[in-house]
Amino acid sequence: MNESRANLSEFSGSRRSLLKKSALAALGTAVPGGFAARAQLPRAKMDPDFVVKNGRIRQSIMGWCFNNQFDKKDSKKNVLTLAKHCKDIGLVAMEGIPRDLYPEVKKMGLEISLVSGGHGFKNGPCNPKFHDEVVEGLKGAIDAAVEIGCPSVITFTGMRFDGMDDEKAAKDCVDTWKKVVPYAEKNKVTLCLEHLNSRDDSHPMKGHPGYFGDDVDFCVDLINRVGSENFKLLFDIYHVSVMNGDVIRRIRQYKDLIGHYHTAGNPGRGELDNTQEINYPPIMEAIVETGYKGFVAQEFIPNWDDPVAALRHAAQVCDV
User: Which pLDDT tens digits describe the chain residue by residue (320 residues)?
Assistant: 444 444 444 434 444 444 444 444 433 333 444 444 456 667 768 899 999 999 999 999 999 999 999 999 999 999 999 999 999 999 999 999 999 999 999 999 999 999 999 999 999 999 999 999 999 999 999 999 999 999 999 999 999 999 999 999 999 999 999 999 999 999 999 999 999 999 999 999 999 999 999 999 999 999 999 999 999 999 999 999 999 999 999 999 999 999 999 999 999 999 999 999 999 999 999 999 999 999 999 999 999 999 999 999 999 999 99
Domain-located, residue 43: no
> How many other CB atoms sit within 10 Å of the CB of residue 180?
26
Residues 236 and 107 both lie in one domain = yes
Instruction: Quote the pTM value.
Output: 0.88
The candidate with the shortest Cα–Cα distance to 185, out of 219, 125, 232, 119, is 232
User: By CB neighbour count within 10 A (0-12 exposed, 13-18 middle, 19+ buried), where does 295 fall?
Assistant: buried
Residues 18 and 102 both lie in one domain = no
Element (H, E) at 46: none
> How many other CB atoms sit within 10 Å of the CB of residue 276?
20
Between strands 231-236 and 93-95, the pairing is unpaired
Domain-located, residue 58: yes
Residues 176 and 118 both lie in one domain = yes
For residue 2, the enclosing domain spans 1-30
Count of domains forming the chain: 2
DSSP state of 96: S
Residues 61 and 97 both lie in one domain = yes
Domain-located, residue 312: yes
> Omega of the bond prior to 209 within 30 degrees of 0, cis?
no
Domain-located, residue 247: yes
* Gap between the Cα atoms of 230 and 318, Å rounded: 27
